[in-house]
Structure formats: structure tokens, C-alpha cells
Amino acid sequence: MIHSIKFTCVLDANVIYPIEIRDLLFWFAHYELYTPKWSTHIFDEWKEVMKRKGVPEDEISKRLEKANNAFPEALVNNYEALIDSLQLPDLKDRHVLAAAIKTDAHIIVTNNLKHFPSEILEPYGLSAKSADDFLTDIIDLNHETALEAFRRLVMNRRNPDLDEYQVMDALRRNGLKETADYLHALL
């Protein structure tokens, strides 16, 4: 069941970069609906995406620092030795699996599901879920807390300020259609 800070998930870079997805994942983690994990490799990928998108270097540093300060236990260490022994369809994703194995995670949250086939993950007690499926599962099991976390996200949203419905539209534009529809139904 996804209702515990003991429920551990490795967040792939592709669910950390889009700010709307990251914000909702981080607010749910802040409300202890799950425990986020990431690695230096994942943050390096996040940095590269931000650079390609034209995010200024000082803003990149600020975002990385904020994430690590908000979740000081999220950084997985000593996973690197596992990387070369792992097999995945895209070898560049082995570091994500290595971090998940090292931290005894339950789920890899990624929007590249084809890169993490269940037959490879299952022997490690892992599965992969898209951000939309993962977030709807959390909402399904924790309506009130998830809705409270979403409302805090909206209240803390700046540049630009958006209301609940505008944030839900932004979630939909970023591939979180089911999540946004579920939150809308709960309002």
C-alpha cells in the first residue's frame, strides 16, 4: 500500500524536470505519502535537461540545493558498483536501477517505462510506474492528504500564481491527465 514514508521510490530525471510533475511529487513526499530517492547520476541528467532548456546556471544550482535540502535522506550513495553488472534495454538507465536496488526501493517512477521491463525489475522486488499512474495510486489510497498536499502546492505556486484549475491544466499538459482528473473530482 502506498501510504507510508517507508514506501520508497526512485524518481527518474524525466519526472523531476517538468516543474509541474516535480512539484506534485515533492509535495506528496513532503506530506509523507512516500519517500523519494535519487542519485548523483539522476541529478546530473536533470542538470543537463535544465541547461538544454536554457535555465540559468544559478537557478539550476538553486533547484538542486532546494531538492536536497527538502529531502536530505533522498540521495542514494554507493550504488555505482552495481551499474556495470545490470542489463536494461537502454544501458544509460542502469544507474537508475542501481540506485533503486541499493536503497531497497519499491518503485521506479519514470515516464520511460519501456526502458524498465518488469521481467528485469521483478527479481529485485521492483516495478516501474509512470508519474501519472504513481500519483493516481497515491491519491486513490490517501484522498484527504493528497488533496491537502495539492492545495499547498497551489498556495505556494509563484511565477505565475495559478489557481487549482490552472494547475490541473498544467498537470494535464505535462502528461498527468488521470492525476489532474482525479484531483478535480475530489475538489
Output the DSSP codes for 134-171: HHHHHHHH-HHHHHHHHHHHHHH--SS---HHHHHHHH
**84 domain residue, yes or no:** yes
Distance CA 67, CA 141 (A): 25
**Local confidence band at 103 (pLDDT 50, 70, 90 cut-offs):** very high
* Size of the chain, expressed as the number of residues it contains: 187
Our count of domains for the chain comes to 1
pLDDT tens by residue, 142-176: 999 999 999 999 999 877 788 999 999 999 999 99
Distance CA 119, CA 97 (A): 13
Q: pLDDT at residue 5 above 70?
A: no
Please tell me the predicted confidence (pLDDT) of residue 16: 97
pLDDT tens by residue, 54-94: 999 999 999 999 999 999 999 999 999 999 999 999 999 99
Please tell me the predicted confidence (pLDDT) of residue 160: 79
**150 domain residue, yes or no:** yes
Q: Which residue has the cell 517505462?
A: 113
**16 domain residue, yes or no:** yes
**Local confidence band at 1 (pLDDT 50, 70, 90 cut-offs):** very low
Edge to edge, the sheet with strand 8-11 lists 35-37, 8-11, 107-109, 127-129
Mean pLDDT over the full length of the chain: 94
**182 domain residue, yes or no:** yes
**175 domain residue, yes or no:** yes
**2 domain residue, yes or no:** no
> Where do the H-state alpha helices sit in 36-175?
40-52, 57-70, 80-83, 94-102, 118-121, 131-141, 143-156, 164-173
For 53, residues 6+ apart whose C-beta sits below 8 A from its C-beta are 17
**54 domain residue, yes or no:** yes
Structural domain that includes position 74: 8-186
**1 domain residue, yes or no:** no
Where residue 131 sits, what CATH number does that domain have? 3.40.50.1010
**By mean pLDDT, which of 5-14, 96-105, 132-141 is the weakest?**
5-14
**Percent of all residues in the chain with a pLDDT value above 90, rounded to a whole number:** 91
